[in-house]
Structure 1
Amino acid sequence: MTDMLQLSRAIAAKFAAADPEPLDHLGSFMALVWEDFLAREVMEILLDERSSYRGHKDVLTAAFFAWMLHPKHLGLRRNAIRLAAMRHFERAERKALKELPNGGWAADAVYRYRDIGIKFLVDVYYPIGGMGSLLRATARLNHSRLIRKKYLRQIFSCVEIVRIYHYAVDHLHPPAHRKPSLQGATTVVRKVADTIESTSATKDAWARRRPSIAYIYAASTIETANGNTLLHDVIDKNIDFKSVRPHLRELVGRARFVADQILARAVEPVGESAEAVPTVEPIPFTVRMYGNVEAALIGEAFADPRHNF
């Protein structure tokens, strides 16, 4: 038993030394995403070209996009983290058993220390509650169903409000028109979009997503390889860091543009959204145009009554 323990410790030390150091130098994993959520710092880690320890960026990715969909929903974010941790465990187990199909102590040591990683166990797995926490995770299918059933209309109502703002900023100017406003946008959003949210429900959905609305709208404008948008992929798919990495810089650049050039120019600026986006070069993009009827409705909603037409 002593020899086995010493060997186990030696294996652990060897693989721990080979695993990259965490990039969350501004705080622990728990402080960054579990107890609170520091969106800018998390995105800076995801954008960092350096590797972090195994599984780290996958759980950060899951946490970030759950936060994006509903910043106030702690349970949704924690469930996404648990699911990402479970997928990391599953991948590690498959890899270890492929190399050591007979299993046994050696496979378990490789699985735990090399493929899961000591740093993941210490920084993520044990602090969030270990296996007891993972077993409380809702299945991914149910996770997506929850988002679709309870929050999909809220999310896309918010997307449409920013699209209306975007259209107004680009095409409606003084003196004939006022700055875009939430009141004006909510009066017209049900007429120009396929949403059945009431005005009060839309305003409530907006209030809950103020910190992440720049990201939500930006994600709705980025097309992915399968013809969907990044926002649809986040809602429907088992995303991980590898799958979203090609889109992250565009997401952040577009979100910076949304925060600085659209939301900041509304009657009620959304400062929380700007604070959540790293300081990067904005990536401008054009609004998806409305038809003549919808455009006229938006123009009417933001018309300045003091202007003599």
Structure 2
Amino acid sequence: MIDVREILESAEMDEVIRAVDALRKRFSLRPIYQAEHEWPVALARVGRFRADVVLAILLSEEKYYPGYKEVLAAAFGGWLIVPRYAKLREALMMHAAVDFMEKAVASSGNDEPLTIKKDVLARYLFIGPEFLVEIFDCLGGYRAFADMPSFDELWGDIEYVEKTIITAARAIAYLHHAVDRFARPGFQFVPSLNKAVSVFDELKKKERGYPFKEKYVSRSLLHQRWSQNKQTLALLYAASSIQINRKTLLQLLLDGFFSYEDHGRYLHKWIGRARYVSDHIFSKMSDAELGLKTRRLLGDGPMMAFRPPKLDEMEVASFDECFRSYIK
């Protein structure tokens, strides 16, 4: 039987470690990264998900080891969709980790047969021991990754959430239109969820001409999402306003395709718009907790103004009916 301890403590092993350290010192492609940092699993899996800390890391210019922000961005996307569903968040972290490792292996030349040299290159230079220890091993190692569920498997259990999120984003769009038109000197206008719901109620009356049930959820589900996940609302609406190719950032989140590598460059625009939602809309509402939770998550920083989405003909008619007392 092989004595593992003897191998680990052998002179040959010491020589291997010295060689790997020398390789990393000479050829490492990574920039100098933060020596002091919290492990991703501590941020995303231990206790309450620390969304404000994760978001601050994603927005920062600080350099971390490769894969660090990729995995945290996946966790943040999962939390934003379903804050209380840790299983989805963890699955997205695993998929992000696998994607990162596959790209690292490809970078070492996967068009040729695997060799020990290529394995060392991929594992210790392109992936790195920090990633292997703090992410791969802490997420469960080989067994956990072999058994990880797909996004579709998990999302199938909570498919109604997507429609609820879209409804919440549209409700904020109605309030955005209302604030732009009526929250100015000469008008005593206080935006509220009930005012947005009244637009939905008008659309329901047009049931034969408007596919309300296909697009939106009931008042009770909307109120539930709004009251239980207030800190996510500005981000969801802001994401719906950002077009990336033929989809919105919100749809990419809902489809499980949000990634730091592909969409990290949109982060400052996204958060800037979310801060604008908080200041331009939420600060005018009577629900002080909504603004407080949003500001606590987004932190201080620049705002980025944007226009609300265009309403279709029936939405315009419903909006005008609900806000006719303000229309001069």
* TM-score normalised by the chain length of structure 1: 0.85
Q: Quick one: which of 136, 140, 146 aligns to 1:135? A: 146
Partner of 1:64: 76
Letter in 2 for 1:262: I
Alpha-carbon shift at residue 158 of structure 1 (Å): 0.9
Alpha-carbon shift at residue 111 of structure 1 (Å): 2.5
Partner of 1:125: 136
Say if 1:214 and 1:274, in contact at 8 Å, map to a contact too: no
Match runs of 1:50-61 below 5 Å: 50-61=62-73
Partner of 1:219: 239
Unaligned runs of 5+ in 1: none
Which structure has more relative contact order (CA 8 Å, sep 6+)? It is 1
Match runs of 1:75-94 below 5 Å: 75-94=87-106
Q: CA RMSD in A?
A: 2.9
Structure of higher CA gyration radius: 2
Partner of 2:14: 6
Quick one: structure 1 residues 111 and 261, their matched pair in 2 at CA, closer, same or farther if it must change by over 3 Å? same
Unaligned runs of 5+ in 2: 1-6, 204-211
Alignment length (residue pairs): 303
Quick one: structure 1 residues 117 and 160, their matched pair in 2 at CA, closer, same or farther if it must change by over 3 Å? same
Match runs of 1:1-309 below 5 Å: 2=10, 4-14=12-22, 18=28, 19-20=30-31, 23=34, 25=36, 27-35=38-46, 36-98=48-110, 101-142=112-153, 149-173=159-183, 178-189=189-200, 191-192=202-203, 195-224=215-244, 226-236=245-255, 238-269=257-288, 270=290, 271-291=292-312, 293-298=314-319, 300-301=321-322
Alpha-carbon shift at residue 49 of structure 1 (Å): 3.1
Aligned mates of 1:237, 1:71 — CA distance in 2: 14
Say if 1:82 and 1:137, in contact at 8 Å, map to a contact too: yes
Aligned mates of 1:185, 1:13 — CA distance in 2: 60
Quick one: structure 1 residues 256 and 24, their matched pair in 2 at CA, closer, same or farther if it must change by over 3 Å? farther
Secondary structure at the aligned position of 1:212 is classed as helix
Question: Identity, % of aligned pairs?
Answer: 24
Alpha-carbon shift at residue 238 of structure 1 (Å): 3.4
Alpha-carbon shift at residue 14 of structure 1 (Å): 3.9
Alpha-carbon shift at residue 3 of structure 1 (Å): 5.7
Alpha-carbon shift at residue 280 of structure 1 (Å): 1.4
Per mean C-alpha deviation after superposition, the further-off stretch among 269-278 and 169-178 is 169-178
